[in-house]
Amino acid sequence: MPDLPPSALAVLQRRLGVATAAMLTAAGVSSGRRKRLVRQGVLVRVHHRVYRIASAEDSFLARCVAVCLAYPCGFITGPSAGRLLGVRRMLRSNEIHFCVPHGFHHDPVEGVVFHQSTSITPMDIMRLDSGIVVASWPRLGFDLARHLSPEDHASVIEQMLADRRCTAGTLAGVGRRLIHPGRAGSWLFATTMADRIAGGALESHAEVLLARALAARHVPVVAQLRNLTLPNGSHIRIDLAVEDARWAVELDIHPDHLLDGTTRDKRRDRQLHQIDWQVERVTALDMQDVAVIADELTINYHLRVSALERRAA
């Protein structure tokens, strides 16, 4: 590469082809040399004093690195951070949502949506190896509330908890600090946390949808009931359950429920029947109409309760 020393190439390579003027200077590229490289088309100016080597792809990740280098006081948040971190239910968009301190002056940047916040602490950010700065998991849980539907936000919160990215306590702490009538997403974040299904974290979006539908029908399900001991000595957990009625709902929506998974599930069901548990299995096809399957399960739950009451009389 003409006029770029190995040290500068190494700096650019570490950050997907992006570097600040200060980084290039430290790597032996003077101001005059940098300007000449821009005129020659070797470097492309992407922000004030931030450059990308022209041979590098102008990708979403590279643009995230660039905006973080250009505005070191801020961080990527919202759906952009969710996409970077592998959060489900994220719309695929090339827009970058970027949070800066309230009152910070910035020029408009194409493809970047700026958000201002009066409350940013060191606990709100994470620095990735690529140089990208993103919202911490609890802060992201709050910030996503302004962008998502109630169902999708609940699903995201459950994913964070199931993957142990944060705890209900750290999420509550962020809520206490940030919830305000004038702050977008506050109402939904508070509602999501207040309406969580009891028990463990729901592991899939389908579990979130079905659990919420059953709760709305006054079926008191608990999520991820654990350490239930079967007659063969194994310990299992149940996706959704009402323990007092010994009534279980299992969602068969993953590929491992096919073929050998089906045999394993049937064996487990027989073990549950031996200790008087009623098992309802829900498939991916059932979940195409959540209201219908929730209505069916609600009827079965009430029939189970009635049967137990008659047995006890």
- Residue 63 inside a domain? The answer is no
Q: State what percent of residues in the chain have pLDDT above 70.
A: 97
Q: Are residues 190 and 76 in the same domain?
A: yes
Of 194, 221, 242, which marks where a domain is finished? 194
How confident is the model over 24-45, as a mean pLDDT? 95
For the chain, what is the HEC assignment? CCCCCHHHHHHHHHCCCEEEHHHHHHCCCCHHHHHHHHHCCCEEEEECCEEEECCCCCCHHHHHHHHHHHCCCCEECHHHHHHHHCCCCCCCCCCEEEEEECCCCCCCCCCEEEEEECCCCHHHEEECCCCCEEECHHHHHHHHHHCCCHHHHHHHHHHHHHCCCCCHHHHHHHHHHHCCCCCCCHHHHHHHHHCCCCECCCCCHHHHHHHHHHHHCCCCCEEEEEEEECCCCCEEEEEEEEHHHCEEEEEECCHHHCCHHHHHHHHHHHHHHHCCCEEEEEECCHHHCHHHHHHHHHHHHHHHHHHHHHHHC
Q: Are residues 190 and 150 in the same domain?
A: yes
138-181: pLDDT as tens digits: 999 999 999 999 999 999 999 999 999 999 999 999 999 999 99
Q: Are residues 52 and 79 in the same domain?
A: no
- Residue 135 inside a domain? The answer is yes
- Residue 64 inside a domain? The answer is no
CA distance 120 to 268: 49
Q: Are residues 288 and 260 in the same domain?
A: yes
Q: Are residues 175 and 211 in the same domain?
A: no
Of 143, 159, 194, which marks where a domain is finished? 194
268-293: pLDDT as tens digits: 999 999 999 999 999 999 999 999 99
pLDDT at position 82 over 60? yes
- Residue 41 inside a domain? The answer is yes
How confident is the model over 178-199, as a mean pLDDT? 96
How confident is the model over 180-190, as a mean pLDDT? 96
Domain of residue 302: give its range: 205-312
Q: State what percent of residues in the chain have pLDDT above 90.
A: 88
Q: What pLDDT, on the 0 to 100 scale, is given for residue 261?
A: 56
- Residue 16 inside a domain? The answer is yes
When divided into structural domains, the chain yields a total of 3
Q: What pLDDT, on the 0 to 100 scale, is given for residue 257?
A: 53
Residue holding tokens 């505005």? 71
pLDDT at position 259 over 60? no
Q: Are residues 245 and 182 in the same domain?
A: no
pTM value is 0.90
For 208-230, what is the HEC assignment? HHHHHHHHHCCCCCEEEEEEEEC
Q: Are residues 129 and 242 in the same domain?
A: no
Residue 298 sits in a domain whose CATH number is 3.40.960.10
- Residue 98 inside a domain? The answer is yes
How confident is the model over 129-135, as a mean pLDDT? 93
pLDDT at position 2 over 70? no
Q: What pLDDT, on the 0 to 100 scale, is given for residue 298?
A: 98
Of 194, 213, 240, which marks where a domain is finished? 194
- Residue 200 inside a domain? The answer is no
Q: Are residues 189 and 225 in the same domain?
A: no
